[in-house]
Amino acid sequence: MATSAPAGDRSSFRSSLGERRIALVAWRLLVLQVAHPAVAAGMADWSTYRAHPWRRVQHTMDSGRRLFFGDREALLREVARLDRAHRRVHGTDTTGRSYTAEDPEVRVWVLMTLYEALTAMRALSGRPFAPAELDALYGEFRAACAAFGLPDELWPPTAADVPGYIDRTIRERLEDGPEVRHLLSGILRQAPPPSRLRLLRPAWPALRVAIAATLATLTTADLPPALRERLGLRRGRRAAALSWTLHRGARTVMTRLPDRWRYRVPPTGSAFPAPRAPRHRHRARPARGRDTRPARLDTFFRQVLDQTGDGYIGLADLRAMAHNVCWPLDLTAEREAEVRAAFDTWWRQMAETMDTGGDGRVSRAEFVRATLSGIDRDPACLERGLHVAVRAMFRAADTDGGGHLCADEYRALFGGTRVPPAELNDGFRQLDADGDGRITEAEFVRAFTDYFSARADTVAGARMLGRA
């Protein structure tokens, strides 16, 4: 069995993929992917990226980390997980063309955009890979992608053939369309703040306008010329200057930083040591005199349940939640199926008790009203829906089957790379009611129960469940 790269292995592929400055080309990568009509149709019909754009970028980066930084077993598990996810994505687009995410040509294109993003990141920074480095980079990439079992004839034979493949695909297969335009000009003007910028939430409505304009200008400047031509976009002097400044500035600064700050994932594939959690414990201070449940449930609906961002919850939202639970946990097919079945059960319970209009969806008002009346009438009502999903989450996160979650298992479930470690450590301590350094299933379920049913604020639940 192949193992992770040994210490000191500074392969150009892992070094490039693990660098934080890859964020500069992440939006460009998404545009290249979504310009493929099959990808655009799949995202329009099946993805929640419009409501959660940052999560979509994070999932792309996390999948790349699993494919290229782990050992052989981790690679095969990620390929199997992607296969299961793609099996559900198929349909007919708005022009009547059928599509499927299992199409080998589409899958090769999506994978190739990741490789192309790495070469673009280096080229745009003024330090392109040398031909020998490109050969090594492409060799590593193809070796990992061999696990997908895609036909050899669909891939560019060598690194030198990649630019021709990219240009040919752009001219022959890629298209303009609503999803591409939304990525370029619409989505960021509506996007919630990334989790790491929560402190800027009050200023976010104004700030995101400037961020959207800057990122749209940068992405337009950085797109391959053939795609700009196909989309009718122009790379003006201002855009060229912005691209030059950001990419070269990032290279100058980032390449001088210590590895912990330069890389999201170390080139060796191992994790950076986690920061030590402070020893003190915070205790929740309950609010007095008023029922805080309606505001809490309203927040939970908006930030957690409404995955599609359309103001309602339905089966698609619960299935998106199940997908996002499974994503960071590297589950077996059987365990993933258990999580998905549990969330389906939760939806059926909600549909039966909350969908007063009988239209197959639940509004925010219906959810808050039905939840409060159900709890007040029958405190055990949560056991038939919420608790089923929560217990499945716990069992999925309990990777060693020990009957409790350690700090690392908790972080994998609720944070991954998206949430600051200090926030995760604080949330873990608050759920660990008896302070023994682990969270039992009873403690886990109680936190969710208190969030839904306690009339006073529960800080542990608010921190864990109030996150978008």
Range among 29-38, 270-279, 324-333 rated most confident:
29-38
- Chain-wide mean pLDDT for the chain? 82
The rounded percent of the chain whose pLDDT value lies above 90 is 34
Residue 91, beta-bridge partner list: 99
Average pLDDT over residues 450-461: 70
Other residues' Cβ atoms within 10 Å of the Cβ of residue 374: 20
pLDDT tier, 9 (very low <50, low <70, confident <90, very high otherwise): very low
Kindly report, residue by residue over 184-238, the tens digit of the pLDDT.
887 777 777 766 666 667 787 788 888 888 989 999 999 999 999 999 999 999 9
Helix (H, G, I), strand (E, B) or coil at 21: helix
Q: Which amino acid is at 102?
A: E
Cα 5 from Cα 70, distance rounded (Å): 8
Kindly report, residue by residue over 149-190, the tens digit of the pLDDT.
999 999 999 999 999 999 999 999 999 999 999 888 877 777
Average pLDDT over residues 397-410: 85
Cα 248 from Cα 70, distance rounded (Å): 30
- Smallest CA-to-CA distance from 85 within 258, 324, 393, 306 is with 324
Distances, alpha carbon 160 to alpha carbons 115, 129, 132, 222, in Å: 13, 12, 10, 20
Beta-strand runs (E) in 260-373: 312-313, 362-363
Identify the DSSP state of 276. P
Helix (H, G, I), strand (E, B) or coil at 468: coil
Asked if the model's pLDDT at residue 269 lies above 80, the reply is: no
Cα 390 from Cα 367, distance rounded (Å): 18
Asked if the model's pLDDT at residue 5 lies above 50, the reply is: no
Helix (H, G, I), strand (E, B) or coil at 303: helix
Range among 50-64, 151-165, 193-207, 283-297 rated most confident:
151-165
- Smallest CA-to-CA distance from 458 within 281, 279, 293 is with 293
The DSSP bridge pattern shows strands 439-440 and 404-405 to be antiparallel
DSSP per-residue string spanning 201-259? GGGHHHHHHHHHHHHHHHHHHHS-HHHHHHHT----HHHHHHHHHHHHHHHHHHTTS-H
Asked if the model's pLDDT at residue 338 lies above 70, the reply is: yes
Residue bearing tokens 């960021």? 188
Cα 129 from Cα 136, distance rounded (Å): 10
DSSP per-residue string spanning 98-144? EEETT-HHHHHHHHHHHHHHHHHHHHHTT-PPPHHHHHHHHHHHHHH
Q: In terms of C-beta distances under 8 Å and separation of at least 24 residues, what long-range contacts does 179-187 make, across chains too?
A: 179/34, 179/40, 179/43, 179/44, 180/31, 180/34, 180/35, 180/40, 180/231, 182/50, 183/27, 183/30, 183/31, 183/34, 184/31, 184/216, 184/219, 184/220, 184/231, 185/212, 185/216, 187/49, 187/50, 187/53
Q: What are phi and psi of 129, to 5 degrees?
A: -65, 145
pLDDT of residue 277: 44
Asked if the model's pLDDT at residue 281 lies above 50, the reply is: no
